[in-house]
Amino acid sequence: MKLFEDYSLKNHNSFKIDVKARYFAEADTITDLIHFVKHKPLTQLPLIILGEGSNVLFKSDYNGVIIHPIIRGIEVIHEDGKHVIVKAGAGENWDAFVEWAINRHYGGIENLSLIPGSVGACPVQNIGAYGVEVSEVIESVETIDMTDGELKLYSKPECNFGYRTSIFKNELKGDKIITSVLFRLSRSPVLKTDYGEIRKKLKKYKDFDIRTLRTVIMEIRQEKLPDPAQIGNAGSFFKNPVITDEEFKKLVRIYPEIPGHPSDTPGQWKIPAAWLIEKCGWKDRCIGEAGTWSRQPLVLVNYGNSTGKQILELAESITRDVSEKFSIQLEKEVNVI
C-alpha cells in the first residue's frame, strides 16, 4: 500500500479538475486493502473509493482519504461448450478487458467498447450502451467490507442492478471495495445490432463479426464524444429520463417530434436527455470554461481550466431549464464529490 499526502487528482479524474486529496492510498493487492481496512490508520477521516475517475466530478479538494485499487489480472476460471467464466481484477482498464475478450472471440461486452473507466467501476454504475448493460454478463462481484476487512462475494441477483445503478451505488455505497468481477461470456456471440447508427455503418461490410462490431461502435463513439485525453469530460452527464405513458402522450401532443422508446418497465418511456437539453437551447453553450459538447449536449466538458463548481453550475442550469420546459427532472449519471 502506497500512501500519499496532499495528492493532486488532476490525472485521476477525466474532467481534469485541478483538485487535491488530503490522502491518496494506492493498493495493488487484496492483502494491502485488508490490512489498511483492519488497521484503520486514518479512521477519523471521510473515505471514498476511486477507480479511473471517469464518472466523477470533484467540486473542490477532498479533505479525506481516497483508496485507489489497482488490482490486476484476467483469467478464465471455468468454461464449457457455450460460455466462459472470466475473473478480472478491479484495476484492469475496462476497454482493455473488452479487447482481451474480443481477441478470444468471447462475446457479450462488445457493445460496451470504448467506455472509459475500470473493471471495478463497471458494476457500480451498471454501465451500458447500444442496447447492452454490463449486468447482463456479470456472474458475481468480489468485495472487501470497509468495516472489518472481510471478503464477500455478491451474486448477480444480490447486486440489485438497475438502469445505471446497483447496490454498490445505493445501499452499499462506501461500504465495500470491489476487488474483482466475474463475467459469463459467450463462446458463440449473438451480435446486437439494433441501433440505427450501428446498422448504417455495418452496411459497408459484406460480412461482419464480433471484431467488426467493436470497430463500428468505437467509430460511432469517437465521432460523437470528445476524447477525455484531449478535452476533460465524463461522458454522459445525465441519465435518459423515464416517464409514464400518460406523461409521454401529453408531451407528444405538444412536441410531436419528441423521440422516445418503451422502457423495460411496461407503461413507461425512455426519453433521450440530449434531445431535451438541445430543445432548451443548451447545445454548444458555456458557462466560463464549462460547456456542452457541440456534437452531443448530453456531455459536459471542461474546455480549459474550469472548476468542478462551474461544471456543476452548468448542470444545475440545464436541469432547471429542462424541468421548467418539459416537467422532467434530469438525474445525474456522474457522481459529484
Residue 42 scores a pLDDT above 80: no
Across the chain, what does the average pLDDT equal?
95
pLDDT at 43: 66
pLDDT at 283: 94
Q: How far apart are CA 336 and CA 140, in angstroms?
A: 27
Residue 214 scores a pLDDT above 90: yes
Q: How far apart are CA 178 and CA 154, in angstroms?
A: 10
Residue 195 scores a pLDDT above 80: yes
85 phi and psi, to 5 degrees? -100, 120
Residue 65 scores a pLDDT above 90: yes
Beta bridge partners of 182: 87, 140
User: Given the C-alpha cell 462475446, which residue does it identify?
Assistant: 107
Q: What is the mean pLDDT of residues 192-198?
A: 89
Q: What is the pLDDT of residues 114-141, one digit of tens each?
A: 999 999 999 999 999 999 999 999 999 9
What percentage of the chain reaches a pLDDT higher than 90? Answer: 88
Higher pLDDT, 4 or 42: 4
| Alpha carbon 7 to chain centroid, angstroms | 24
Whole-prediction pTM: 0.90
Residue 143 scores a pLDDT above 90: yes
Residue 53 · residue 12 · CB < 8 Å = yes
CATH of domain 2-69: 3.30.43.10
Residue 45 scores a pLDDT above 90: no
CATH for 232-336, options being 3.90.550.10, 3.10.129.10, 3.90.78.10, 3.90.1570.10: 3.90.78.10
Catalytic positions are: 164, 236, 333
Q: How far apart are CA 125 and CA 95, in angstroms?
A: 15
Q: How far apart are CA 8 and CA 19, in angstroms?
A: 6
21 phi and psi, to 5 degrees? -110, 140
pLDDT at 1: 86
Neighbouring residues of 144: CB distance < 8 A, sequence distance ≥ 6: 30, 33, 34, 37, 150, 151, 152, 176, 177, 179
Task: Report the b/e string of 87-104 with b at 16+ CB within 10 A.
Answer: bbbbbbbbbebbebbbee
Highest averaged pLDDT of the listed ranges 33-42, 84-93, 168-177 = 84-93
Q: What are the extents of the domains in the chain? A: 2-69, 74-186, 232-336
Domain spanning 74-186: which CATH class is it, in words? alpha beta
CA–CA distances in Å: residue 169 to residues 162, 164, 222, 245: 10, 9, 28, 28
Neighbouring residues of 41: CB distance < 8 A, sequence distance ≥ 6: 3
Q: What is the mean pLDDT of residues 8-21?
A: 97
Say whether 134 sits in a helix, a strand or coil. helix
Beta bridge partners of 128: 133
Q: What is the mean pLDDT of residues 213-233?
A: 94
What dihedral do alpha carbons 266, 268, 272, 275 form, nearest 10°? 140
What percentage of the chain reaches a pLDDT higher than 70? Answer: 100
Residue 40 scores a pLDDT above 80: no
pLDDT at 41: 73
